[in-house]
Amino acid sequence: MIFAKKSLGQNFLQSDKALRQIAEASGLTQDEIGIEIGPGEGALTEKLLATGATIFAIEKDDRLIPILQQKYSEQIKNGKLILVHDDILKVDIQKLVGDRKYKLIANIPYYITGMIMEMFLGADHKPEQIVLLVQKEVAERITTKDGKESILSMSVKLYGTPRIIDRVPRGAFRPIPNVDSAIILINDIHKNNITKEIEEKFFLTLKKAFGQRRKQIGNTLGVTDEQVKSVNQNLSTKSRPEELSVSDWLALSDILN
């Protein structure tokens, strides 16, 4: 048995129910491509391969490569599993899959959640959809619908539609983490057709406002009531950043830039 490395943020998922839910949420079918980050000992890999899809499994931990090579020697031989020994944050996805469509599936260390989101959602060649197992509080913050948005939730919603599939208790992992998790699905990733120019305007405005999120947007952005009302009649210069939706921010960033 391989012991989890704390330095890599490893927590191996043991729940068969959660593993099945992740694979099902991916919607992978035969002839599709899935990229799995951190396959570990291959528990989720098995479920993903069962869909008939071709899986690119990217694993950083030297100790796990021979285990995966032995366990899935047949799938590696017939090209259904491509094992990549590398750090996901250093991998060139375009070189890996070319122009082919792909889906991203992963049980990732909590500390790289934001980096993974930024890397894949901000990429020129984005995945069709993403299924991630993340910290429960992070999943809830991303999918919030209570008017308490954050830079993270707005960043994700700019590119796609997030929703929680299910919560996963901390006891489903080895070793047991200090927090519960949740499976999050992000689909409709190409819906907004975001250009680089729109993206730059959006994040410039967003970071300026959320840098002082308790302050009213009239103070942080220097907008007039007329400008704000042209975006959304329900808003005013007294509104706070967390009250605005993605469409509000897109319109406002276009006016300001």
pLDDT in tens, 205-237: 999 999 887 889 999 999 999 999 999 999 999
Q: What per-residue string of b and e applies to 44-71 under the rule 16 or more CB within 10 Å gives b?
A: bbbbbbebebbbbbbbbbeebbebbeeb
**Max CA distance (Å), the chain:** 65
Around Cβ 100, how many Cβ atoms within 10 Å? 10
Amino acid at 251: A
Output the pLDDT for position 214.
Answer: 80
- Average pLDDT score, the chain: 89
Which residue is associated with the tokens 């959006």? 202
Write the CA distances from 139 to 37, 40, 93, integer angstroms. Answer: 18, 22, 24
Please answer whether residues 101 and 94 qualify as being in contact, where contact means their C-beta atoms are separated by less than 8 angstroms: no
Helix (H) or strand (E) holding 77: helix 73-77
Three-state secondary structure call for residue 14? coil
Cα atoms found within 13 Å of the Cα of residue 19, Cβ hemisphere only: 20
What average pLDDT does the segment 248-257 reach? 92
150: Cβ contacts below 8 Å, ≥ 6 apart: 141, 144, 210, 242
Output the pLDDT for position 146.
Answer: 65
pTM (predicted TM-score): 0.88
Higher pLDDT, 230 or 147: 230
Amino acid at 186: I
238: Cβ contacts below 8 Å, ≥ 6 apart: 216, 218
Output the pLDDT for position 22.
Answer: 96
pLDDT in tens, 105-123: 988 777 788 889 989 998 8
pLDDT band at residue 9 using 50, 70 and 90 as cut-offs: very low
Output the pLDDT for position 63.
Answer: 84
Torsions phi, psi of 200, nearest 5? -65, -45
List the domains of the chain with CATH numbers. 6-187 (3.40.50.150), 196-256 (1.10.8.100)
